[in-house]
Amino acid sequence: MNRRTATRSSGSFAIRSDTRRKSKDEAEKGMWSSMLDSVASGRKLPEKNLIVLGGTPGMQKEFLETLNSDAPKRQQDRHRKNAHVANDFALGYTYQDVLDADHEDILARLSIYLLAQPSPSFAPLLSSRLTPQSIPESLLVILLDWNEPWLWIRQLRDRIILFRSITASLSDEAKETLEETMKDWQEKRRGLSSYDNSMQVAGSEANVALPLSQGEWDEPLGLPLCIVCHNSEKINSLESEQRWREEDFDFVLQFLRTILMKHGASLIYTSNSAPNSLPTLIHSSLGIHSMLKKQALKHNVIDRDKVLVPPNWDSWGKIRVLREGFDVKGVSSKWSDDISRPLTSEAKRPEDPTRPTEDSEYDDEQPTALSMYESNIYDPDGDKRSAEDQKPRVEVSVPSMQAFLATQQETLVRLLAEDERSSTPSTTQATTSTHERVSDQIGPVQVNMGGIQVDADDVVRKLQHQTKRDRSARRDGEGEGEGTPRSKKEGANMSTPEMKAQNEDLQKFFKNLMNRGASNSPRGTPSKSTPKEGAK
C-alpha cells in the first residue's frame, strides 16, 4: 500500500466517525425532546366549560359553593381567595380546579360562565364561547329555585329558546360538532348511571346499542343539559304554608322529567343544608373521573327533596308509575310547540313574578305546555295581584319642561295681578286691626314731651276728630253763598290745606309713637319716650 492510499483510507474513516457521532447526538436529542413533550402534555390540565343559565347572582354563588363542596377545606379557602365570582353584570365568569380523590392531583380546570337573564342581547357573549374545540368539553346547566316553582316551565322555555337561537347562529363547523356531540351522548353514553369512572359498561352491554324510547331525545340542544332545582329545603314550607299536597310535588316532578327526556337532560334537587350528588353529576357529565375512587350515580325519584334523575335513564313508563293520570304524551307534544316559538316581549324581560300567567300563547284556543303547568301550579299571591291589576288605572301624561314652565309663568302673572288689586284694602284693614290688638294688649300709651305726660291715643283721637270737622266745614263752606254767617265762614276758612297737612303729620307722628311703644315694651307696660325723642 502506498502513501496516497493510506491517506485516503484514514480520511474515509474520520468521515464515517463524524457521521456516526452526529447520528448518535441527533438520536439522543430526539429522545429527550419526545420525553419532554410527553411530560408537558401530561401536566397540561384538561379544560372543561360549564354554561350556567338562570338564577340570581346570589343563587349562582350558592350553586358554585355546592359544586365545590367535595373539595377539602384548604382547597375551598384557596378558591374563594383567588377565583372571585364576577356575575353582577351581563355574562359572569369564574373557575374551579377539580381535584382527585386524594385532593393532591388536579384532574381538570372548570371554566364557568354565568348568565342570569335570558335576554337576546346577551346571546353574542355566549356564542363566542361555543367553538368546535370547546363544544365537546362543555355542559349546559339551568338553575331553578324552589322559592318560585310556579315559574319553572316559563323559565325553562325562555332559556332553552335563547340557547337554541345561539346555536343557530354558529358556524357550519360548530354545528357539525354539536351534532356529533349529541350523537355521542345518544349512542355511547346511554345508561350513564351504570357507568364506572372509565365510562365503560361491564359485560356484554358495551356492544349493545339500545334504541331510543318514546319521547326521548326529540329535541337535542347540541350540549348535554342538567337542570338543578336549588333550595329544596323550601319544600316543607310549601307544604305547611302554601298547602301543597303530595300530588302537587309529583305533578311538578312528572312534568320536569317528561320535558327533560326530550333533551336527554339530567335532573337534581339540591340544598345548602344537606349533602347531594351535584359534584358527581356535573363532573361525570363532563367526563371528569377520579382514578382513585369510583363514584356511580344512583337515581332517586322517591325522596321528594333529594331527587336525582341521571341522563339517559328515564322513560315514559317510569314517569307514569309515579302517579296515574298524568298526560305524558300531551305534555311532550306541547313542549315541542312551546320552544319553537320566538321569545315574546314579556319573555325578553326579566321574569315578573307578579304576572306569571299572562303571555301571548294564551290567545290561542289550544292549550300549551306552559298553560297546562300553570293551571295546576300557580302563584299563591297571583289572585291578589290580578285583583289589583283589574282596578282602574290613572294614566298620567308628563308635559315637557318648557310647557310646564310656560303654564307656571301664566299662573304667577295671574296671582301677582290679584295681589296688586287687593293690596290697598288689605293693608289698611291689617293696619287697623293691628292698632286695635295693640290697644287691647298694652292700654293707653303715655309720651313724655318736654316734661309733660301726653296721652298719645287721646291726641290721635282729637286729631282725627278735628280732621273730620275741617272736612265737614269745608264742604259746608263750598255749599253756601254770601248769606252764610261770618262764624261759619271763618270756621271754613280755618280748614286750609296747610292746616290739614299739619293735622295729618301730627296724626302720623303719634301713630308711629304708639307702634314703637307696642313693639319695644312688654305686655301691659306703656312705652315712654325720652325728652330727646319727644323733642324730635
Q: What is the pLDDT of residue 513?
A: 65
Contact between 239 and 252 (Cβ < 8 Å) = no
Is a pLDDT exceeding 50 seen at residue 194?
Answer: no
**pLDDT, tens digit, for every residue of 45-56?**
889 999 999 999
Distance CA(11)–CA(4), nearest Å, equals: 11
pLDDT at 61 over 80: yes
Name the H helices within 44-190.
57-67, 73-82, 123-127, 152-168, 172-187
Residue 347 banded pLDDT, cuts 50, 70, 90: very low
SS3 assignment for 63-98: HHHHHCCCCCHHHHHHHHHHCCCECCCCEEEEEEEE
Who's near 523: CB < 8 A, 6+ residues apart? Answer: 441, 442
Q: Is the pLDDT of residue 320 over 90?
A: yes
Kindly indicate the confidence band of residue 433, based on its pLDDT and cuts at 50, 70 and 90.
Answer: low
Residues 6+ positions from 532 with CB-CB distance below 8 Å: none
pLDDT at 76 over 70: no
Lowest-pLDDT range of 121-125, 150-154, 162-166, 351-355 = 351-355
Beta-ladder partners of 98: 108
Eight-state DSSP code of residue 222: S
Confirm if 326 and 257 have CB atoms less than 8 A apart. no
Q: Is the pLDDT of residue 383 over 80?
A: no
At 265 the pLDDT is: 94
* Banded model confidence at residue 524, pLDDT cuts 50, 70, 90: very low
Alpha-carbon distance of 212 to 401, in angstroms, equals: 67
User: Would you say residue 430 has pLDDT above 60?
Assistant: no
- The pLDDT of residue 505 is above 60: yes
Share of the chain above pLDDT 70, in %: 59
- Rounded Cα–Cα distance for residues 470 and 499 (Å): 9
pLDDT at position 353: 42
Residue 108, H or E segment: strand 106-115
pLDDT at position 273: 82
**pLDDT (0 to 100) of residue 193:** 41
Calculate mean pLDDT across residues 419-442. Answer: 60
CB atoms within 10 A of CB 337: 13
Output 250 or 448, whichever has higher pLDDT.
250
Look at the block and give the residue holding cell 293690596. 423
CA distances from 319 to 168, 227, 324, 379, 475 (A): 31, 17, 9, 25, 117
Flag the least confident range among 150-154, 380-384, 404-408, 414-418: 380-384
Query: For residue 75, is pLDDT > 90?
Result: no
| Residues whose CB falls within 8 Å of the CB of residue 444, separated by 6 or more in sequence, listed in order | 455, 456, 457, 458, 526
Task: Report residue 531 as a C-alpha cell.
Answer: 325728652
Q: How far apart are CA 81 and CA 65, in angstroms?
A: 13
Candidates 154, 322, 356, 155; CA nearest to 251 is 322
Please state which of the ranges 233-247, 281-295, 345-359 shows the lowest mean pLDDT: 345-359
Pairing of strands 446-449, 452-455: antiparallel
Alpha-carbon Rg for the chain in angstroms: 49
Using CA atoms, how far apart are residues 139 and 265, in angstroms rounded to an integer?
Answer: 10
What pLDDT does 526 receive?
46
pLDDT band at 338 (very low <50, low <70, confident <90, very high): very high
pLDDT at res. 104: 78
Burial category of 142 from C-beta neighbours within 10 Å (exposed 0-12, middle 13-18, buried 19 and up)? buried
Q: What span, in angstroms and rounded, lies between the C-alpha atoms of 525 and 444? A: 9
CA distances to 13, 302, 435, 529, 534 from 516, in Å? 138, 96, 11, 10, 13
As a whole number of angstroms, the distance between CA 159 and CA 265 comes to 14
pLDDT at 498 over 70: no
> Which whole number is the average pLDDT over 279-287?
91
Q: CB of 269 within 8 A of CB of 305?
A: yes
DSSP 391: S
User: Is the pLDDT higher at 142 or at 189?
Assistant: 142
Q: Report the alpha-carbon angle 456-499-473, nearest 5.
A: 100
The helix (H) or strand (E) run that includes residue 139 is: strand 138-145
Q: Which domains does the chain have, with CATH numbers?
A: 43-201+208-389 (3.40.50.300), 442-535 (no CATH)
pLDDT tens column, 388-408: 555 565 566 777 777 877 888
Average pLDDT, the chain: 75
pLDDT value for 101? 77
Segment holding 352, helix H or strand E: none
Which residues, in sequence order, are bridge partners of residue 138?
Answer: 49
Q: Is the pLDDT of residue 446 over 70?
A: no
- Predicted pLDDT of residue 165: 93
What pLDDT, on a 0 to 100 scale, did the predictor assign at position 531? Answer: 43
From start to end of 276-423, where are the E strands?
A: 308-309
Q: Letter for the amino acid at 307?
A: V
Mean pLDDT of 222-250: 93
pLDDT for position 147: 94
The sheet with strand 47-53 has its strands ordered as 91-99, 106-115, 47-53, 138-145, 225-230, 266-269, 308-309
Least confident of 214-223, 388-397, 407-416, 524-533: 524-533
**Is the predicted pLDDT of residue 168 greater than 60, yes or no?**
yes
The enclosing H or E element of 348 equals helix 345-348
Inter-residue contact 139 to 286 (CB < 8 Å): yes
pLDDT at 534: 40
